[in-house]
Structure 1
């Protein structure tokens, strides 16, 4: 696959057999794809970027009001291990109450609240739609992702001339099912790994969304889908922003492959678990700093065969 580019999926054609097959191939071979002709207005995406910049320009004491609702859902700033990134977070963006709480933490203006709520509903609905499209590409027509909570992170990378060549985010897989990324339309740096082990640059593309599949998608698909490894590299001394929406996992019940994907030729690969159990496992691995087990490989602990 070396030399190929990340696939584009046209949502206006997703009901056509060719586009549906292209989506399945992208999930299996890449674990990521660009989404074009989606339903989120470009003007809304641009307005949300303006809000993101304004929120990151708030005083530090205000940003620290963005407290965790669940572990890892609030503000975090630069650290010794990663001095260039800071991020604000919102848990359960499908909930209007959660969005209002996030806005209250940051004392967002009425206009900012309106943009955040409008964008939040649009991107949440898009995540649900993409999840259903992915399921349908495997012939599963009754998959329901409506109650899978979505988390939202707005990131700022403070790149300088001194950080060129360093990581804004080191190589990792996402712990969730699906990530929808509105990347910076001007500043590159994101790279994804293809199945040859080479990293492919994700060039800025205004108006498109990037979909990444995470660990939960690999388990849910019974190993058919790739949980893509990716990283962010500092390429130029400028500020980079991204808006990431994570569809986590089922709110209730276990993460496990649907019955349609398990048979004699395809035995169940992973023991069932809840998303909270898996997230706790990943966090414990990081805290222990087990050098023998990268967080990209945590799923090995749950492999059955």
Structure 2
């Protein structure tokens, strides 16, 4: 259990390039930071939370209509490992047709459909801007994330008196490049692994987004970016809602260290691999806290299941 709290670095998006040094340190050391002046209206954030609560009030049968597009992208019901947690997934959230299909399957009203669509569009713009800034903070200027695949995930933790003190989401790293999280302003519980390996609590801050780096970022940067481990603990008997937006990987499904980060002093740490196969590997093996990256190390024997085919 965490015994301390921290305030993660706060990056002001209206103050670039002055904030670049702070962004570099946060991305390479802690793997986590907050953003302010992000341009997402407070009213839209509140409306999105209302839309998410509406979705979770649906029947179990209705929820299951949110099926996978790629592995692990649809509805996640409570499980023995995470009995308090459930989630909806919207892939690819940058596509208006995919948003429309998601809403149609769940028979979402036009009112909530418009909110979800507007939120997804604005969050996509924000996350592309953030990923571009993170790349620039490492010296890779003008790299484009515009066409990377993305996902919107709506989370609910059904915390009760019986679950206080338990884990709502197990220790994990995200399997993406970057995550932008709208937290529950009323209910905390998020903990990140701090320097030295201890978990520390990160309390929500109104009108900010929490940003963290995932496994793909570590591979893409040849180990420079830090994929932060985190978890959710039940601290009080209240339901907790959060909304996460992910940039996952290039749409050609090919992941490898960028050549700009590889030289004679920094050989490639990872071999080229298929992102979708890596996603399946994490889910099937249960190795969700970054351990699966060891199987992609450049000095490991290449296995067929994680090698891109000749179409790339």
TM-score for the superposition, normalised by structure 1:
0.94
Determine helix, strand or coil for the equivalent of 1:149.
strand
Q: Distance in 1 between matches of 2:89 and 2:56?
A: 12
Cα pair distance change 1:257/1:238, threshold 3 Å: same
Determine helix, strand or coil for the equivalent of 2:255.
coil
Task: Kindly state the Cα deviation for residue 67 of structure 1 after the two structures are TM-superposed.
Answer: 1.3
Determine helix, strand or coil for the equivalent of 1:141.
coil
Task: Kindly state the Cα deviation for residue 116 of structure 1 after the two structures are TM-superposed.
Answer: 0.4
Cα pair distance change 1:279/1:253, threshold 3 Å: closer
Q: Distance in 1 between matches of 2:261 and 2:298?
A: 15
Q: Distance in 2 between matches of 1:24 and 1:137?
A: 5
Q: Deviation digits for residues 95-126 of structure 1, max 9, x if unmatched? A: 00000001011111111011000000000111
Between 277-286 and 157-166, the greater mean CA deviation after superposition:
277-286
The aligned residue for residue 300 of structure 1 is 294
Q: Distance in 1 between matches of 2:236 and 2:145?
A: 39
The aligned residue for residue 122 of structure 1 is 122
Task: Kindly state the Cα deviation for residue 260 of structure 1 after the two structures are TM-superposed.
Answer: 1.5
Q: Distance in 2 between matches of 1:237 and 1:3?
A: 20
Q: Distance in 1 between matches of 2:121 and 2:29?
A: 30
The aligned residue for residue 9 of structure 1 is 11
Contact 1:180–1:245 under 8 Å retained in 2: yes
The aligned residue for residue 162 of structure 2 is 162
The aligned residue for residue 305 of structure 2 is none
The aligned residue for residue 190 of structure 1 is 190
Q: Deviation digits for residues 185-211 of structure 1, max 9, x if unmatched? A: 110000001121111211011111011
Alignment length (residue pairs): 296
Contact 2:189–2:235 under 8 Å retained in 1: yes
Contact 2:93–2:152 under 8 Å retained in 1: yes
Q: Distance in 2 between matches of 1:255 and 1:71?
A: 17
Task: Kindly state the Cα deviation for residue 6 of structure 1 after the two structures are TM-superposed.
Answer: 1.0
Q: Distance in 2 between matches of 1:176 and 1:259?
A: 20
Between 244-253 and 294-303, the greater mean CA deviation after superposition:
294-303
Determine helix, strand or coil for the equivalent of 1:279.
helix
TM-score for the superposition, normalised by structure 2:
0.92
Q: Distance in 2 between matches of 1:86 and 1:208?
A: 24
Contact 1:182–1:244 under 8 Å retained in 2: yes
Cα pair distance change 1:294/1:208, threshold 3 Å: closer
The aligned residue for residue 223 of structure 2 is 223
Contact 1:24–1:137 under 8 Å retained in 2: yes
Determine if the alignment matches structure 1 residue 47 to structure 2 residue 47. Answer: yes
Contact 1:285–1:295 under 8 Å retained in 2: no
Between 79-88 and 128-137, the greater mean CA deviation after superposition:
79-88
The aligned residue for residue 132 of structure 1 is 132
The aligned residue for residue 56 of structure 1 is 56
Between 31-40 and 58-67, the greater mean CA deviation after superposition:
58-67
Cα pair distance change 1:294/1:254, threshold 3 Å: closer
Determine if the alignment matches structure 1 residue 143 to structure 2 residue 143. Answer: yes
Q: Deviation digits for residues 80-104 of structure 1, max 9, x if unmatched? A: 2221111111111000000000101
Contact 2:171–2:289 under 8 Å retained in 1: no
The aligned residue for residue 276 of structure 1 is 276
Structure 1 residues without counterparts, runs of 5 or longer: 287-292
Task: Kindly state the Cα deviation for residue 258 of structure 1 after the two structures are TM-superposed.
Answer: 1.9
Instruction: Report the RMSD for the aligned CA atoms in angstroms.
Output: 1.4
Task: Kindly state the Cα deviation for residue 274 of structure 1 after the two structures are TM-superposed.
Answer: 2.1
Task: Kindly state the Cα deviation for residue 280 of structure 1 after the two structures are TM-superposed.
Answer: 2.2
Cα pair distance change 1:193/1:116, threshold 3 Å: same
Q: Distance in 1 between matches of 2:71 and 2:255?
A: 19
Q: Distance in 1 between matches of 2:288 and 2:74?
A: 24
